[in-house]
Structure 1
């Protein structure tokens, strides 16, 4: 089965040894994605960051030949669970009718203290 690696071009992908997404067969796994692009973090609030994260996930899915409609699971990691409604609102704007399974967990910290949310996604492309 063919293995397709999708890179975002971030310099730390090679250093850490990961891909933005990997497609094997009809399954696409998108790595933990944040609102950080180089030294820039888009947004200082959870809603804006989540919107940027989902844009980046959408681009990775597209590069793998998938779309949001193929997503069956998301995992949301937030640094402050009291902001769940902001993250949930942005997530719902994309997935309201798709309704993948989802988890939202509070974590102690993300790699940059400006980051409030990180999301992973799993997609299964229908034949």
Structure 2
């Protein structure tokens, strides 16, 4: 068994598509119209056959309070691994990405948290050599 797709709730699929592809560097895997919304998934350009991230519309009534509670507590919706967190930070800041938690060491990882502009916090992780 393996993870095929996981989802993240987004306020606006067009805005999310732009952020996750143009800013983070993912690529669209599926873009299938489904009424007013789309089955819109992205994958890492480093692993195009890997796990897909569904940019899922956040219109279910439970989503708003759930995401607001996560953001209020500083809890990321997802965690993405990067090779060099400091280099990634410099690259993302050039795109105007807000870091809500500066890079810091946390045991076997170096981590930071960004705002995805679509209602979520995202954790960026760099594995330390010991990790």
TM-score when normalising by structure 1: 0.29
Q: Which has the higher strand share?
A: 2
Find the structure with the greater CA-based Rg.
2
Highest RCO, 1 vs 2 (Cα 8 Å, sep ≥ 6): 1
State TM-score, norm by structure 2.
0.28
